[in-house]
Amino acid sequence: MNLTQEEWASKLQNDTDATILDVRTDEEWEEGFIPGAIHVDIYQGQGFIDQINELDKNKSYYVYCKAGGRSQQACHIMNELGFDKTFNLTGGISQWEGDVETPE
């Protein structure tokens, strides 16, 4: 499900079973990420699928990338793998107005 920045942030804040998923590259991750995010690079192909399959399918996943395209693709892949609650951040982190952290 595609959500606007406001919808995504609001739904995330009220979801006690939420996991934030960053599907960008390592280089993009180094530039900064949404606090609490798990990093799984969608460009890892089968490695991405293997890592996703290790996640709890009953949780909600709030997925983002740089502009929203890769995260939309990730949500589609996750839905095919049996994840029912995936939420794509339309516009990605490039339009994110919330907090951003950088790796230590």
Query: Active site residue: 21, 65, 74, 75, which one?
Result: 65
Dump the DSSP string for 27-64. Answer: HHHHT-B-TTPEE--GGGTHHHHHHHHTS-TTSEEEEE
Instruction: Give catalytic status of residue 65 as yes or no.
Output: yes
Query: Quick check: 40 and 81 in contact, CB under 8 A?
Result: no
So which residues are the catalytic ones?
A: 65
